[in-house]
Amino acid sequence: MRIAVFPGQGSQSPGFLSPWLDADGAADRLAQYSEWSGVDLVAAGTEWDADRIRDTQVAQPLIVAASLLSWNALPDRDGIGGVAGHSVGEFAAAAAAGVLSEQAALTLVGIRGRAMAEAAATAQTGMSAVIGGDEAAVLARLEELGLSPANYNGGGQLVVAGALDGLQALAADPVPGTRVIPLQVAGAFHTRYMAPAVDALRAAAAEVTASDPRVMLWTNRDGSAVTSGADFVALLVDQVASPVRWDLCMTSFADAGVSGIVELSPAGTLVGLAKRALRGVPAVAVKTPADLDAATALVAVES
């Protein structure tokens, strides 16, 4: 089975959307995405600098819009047998699987980004990546410091979140065998600090129609495949304040016999994790339209 995966926040970079706007209809599609999300995605993806597109309420719809632009540009999507997204990438995965319309996905992710930015502004919090070390020892240290695991990314990478003083203490005295890398995000995402954003997103999600997925669809909650569209939307809402278990998603990919992975734009991060955790599984990162031929060739092998 060939699958498509959709990246999360932090994968964006200044000007990364520019190559995609040359495709027929892409500029009009992005203008529509901008209207639905409430963000000028054309300017954000082509003109704005790194600091401006790092803003949560900009980054989230920008990433989902880029993923859907590149997904729509993939010629042989019928060869994709399953999809999954990392964090906010689950909204793109939901649209690709037919659970949500593109309008619903962009509308909800715009609300999600604004609500998470507002929640983040209420406390001095942040996130750091912890690379290497014994996971049990890392989790024990987090509990001592009042920190929480936010993203179990697999491949020896755990993203942690919480109060800035706790993160600083972790960096000053790391668990043996680990490296602690502060991340440029303004909030403790996927933790209890995001509870107000959950409430806002749940109210908005109650207004959308969900369909059951057309292809296999895995959830960040526990890596399981979800067959109910309504259930997946509920998981999307709860995910804002609960850890992302991408490690379990990759375990499920292996169990399902996944034989190729295409990561949609802004790509690279999930392919890197797959190369460490799913050794031998071919993977293509679709960063620009020039990568579509390689992605098409990978999907065609399965077809």
Residue type, 39: V
| Active-site residue flag, 190 | yes
Determine contact, residues 187/193, Cβ cutoff 8 Å.
yes
Determine contact, residues 153/245, Cβ cutoff 8 Å.
no
Q: How many helices (H) and strands (E) does the chain have?
A: 13, 10
Who's near 290: CB < 8 A, 6+ residues apart?
19
CA atoms within 13 A on the CB side of 34: 13
| Active-site residue flag, 211 | no
Helix or strand holding residue 27 (H, E):
helix 26-37
CA 11 to CA 270: how far, in whole Å?
10
Catalytic residue among 11, 37, 86, 190: 190
**Phi and psi at residue 181, to the nearest 5°:** -120, 110
Residue type, 63: I
Catalytic residue among 37, 67, 87, 265: 87
CA 33 to CA 106: how far, in whole Å?
6
CA 199 to CA 211: how far, in whole Å?
22
Who's near 200: CB < 8 A, 6+ residues apart?
111, 115
Residue with tokens 């209809």: 25
**Phi and psi at residue 190, to the nearest 5°:** 65, 35
Strand partners, 218: 225
CA 107 to CA 59: how far, in whole Å?
14
Return the active site residues: 87, 190
